[in-house]
Structure 1
């Protein structure tokens, strides 16, 4: 039994992609009608801002989609990262000078489109790669494309919740309720 037939997404993939789309929409909704300045504003004790969260989720999804296609070699080498490397990665969580919310959202939409196409076209959803060395991964662990997609969904949902709190702190707007 094949997982895709004539580019038709199977029930499992369709369900997972639909779930991811829902959480992406919740995340995007938190930025509705905001200015670039508001998207970069910190509203809680956290360093997080709405535009920075979208940048981070975009970068994370892009990295994991690349992992599905090419394996560990395209992932950051977390075990060898310096403080300077981690500081540069922290820019994923901020709106930097010149960043616009429109551009951040457009890049997120492009990464989402690419991920969706990749998942739909995968010949084997069980294909796996070893995880990169990092303190938060079990040594020698492997993740299948399915497991990576579940991780992307979890990451997106978690940050959509963060974004909802930030937006509510900004102006009282809620994504639900």
Structure 2
């Protein structure tokens, strides 16, 4: 995004969070390829299809849990990400977010933790599931802010209402793709 000689409406926002249009949507192109590569690796290493499905589902549930806590503690906590996220609250249609390099660094960390915990083929499949959950979150979040959540039906409309309430106050509804963890941790707010 051009800086207009220092007069950008995103003044003070680190360039890593002030994304171009292609940078903002890049994860939608890269993540599916990475997921397929991880799934292919897991199958090539001999993971049974039932194990693959279980690991994918586990990874997606872990993402859902991580999404809630990242949003609550990292984006709304005293971190380097909090000013970026507050700017997103103020300018929700702007292309503000974490660049693909950052998200893939996070995925590499998740893969490493899973590798230590469960080993080779399961860690690849679980990471692919985690990435699927992330991609669903991205689709919902981008849909809410840029496409009025079209294509997600009643579920998308409900999540859009909850997320809009979050943007108005920031005190609850931290789950973007699901209200489950807000209900569990008592941060759910009716909208």
TM-score normalized with structure 2 length: 0.27
RCO (CA 8 Å, sep 6+): is it higher in 1 or 2?
1
Higher helix residue share: 2
TM-score normalized with structure 1 length: 0.29
